Homo-oligomer: A and B are copies of this chain.
């Protein structure tokens, strides 16, 4: 669900996003939402076709009101970049000229470095139909382009903003493999727990003549233990598996019924996956 939550950190810093002559309010709103998703907040519009403020933009922003409320409109791109130190132009095609061309990863790293050293930065995005003009690009320091499918290269403006905002967020993370939350108790179970599982399974199978004929038992145990160790079970998983064995074992081993149903630790409560 979209929306801000006062208990959670609202990230709102980084490069200004500058839309040059955007046409549709919906697109401006989707840009605002994409910015908010990845912690950017400063939106600048150069000469928006349908004026500003825009109800369509606010609606499409899906409660990114802090971005919409802070949006500033300029008549000309020169004014929109005047207070910035370093500016990227996004473009899908090669331009004649001397500006370095960067990937989104490189651009985000550059923007993050300049942000940390106190510079003000911005990223230019062009018109829905025609992108940035060469005159627009001339006001930028460097060009950033996206690694797209060669035969299907046109990105929607909000999606282009989303990718740069996403890379901006990632550039502030130490580890691109890190995640915001983790599954509970992912540590591998101890060998004592694994061996407990082996013995539990093997005992239940043994009374049913699973290990028959006797001279094959060593190989059958080997295979069984290989299957049971291949997945590197966690403690809660071992708990669930032992609950399964206990449950299957119940009512079919005379004299064991009472013991199983009174154990109070049959693992049945451990099956919380899918709750």
A103:B179 contact, CB within 8 angstroms: yes
A229 shortest CB reach to chain B, Å? 16
A154:B62 contact, CB within 8 angstroms: yes
Interface size on A, residues (CB 8 A): 76
Number of copies: 2
Q: Tell me the residues in window 171-228 of chain A with beta carbons closer than 8 Å to chain B beta carbons.
A: 173, 176-184, 186
Question: In the complex where A134-B274, A145-B181, A183-B98 touch, is A152 in contact with B237 (Cβ < 8 A)?
Answer: no
Closest 10 CB pairs of A and B: A97-B273, A10-B151, A8-B151, A2-B154, A94-B181, A8-B150, A36-B152, A138-B274, A105-B176, A39-B149
Known: A11-B151, A163-B166. 17 other contacts (CB 8 A): A2-B154, A5-B150, A8-B151, A10-B150, A34-B159, A37-B148, A37-B159, A39-B149, A62-B156, A96-B272, A98-B183, A101-B181, A143-B183, A147-B170, A147-B180, A148-B180, A149-B169
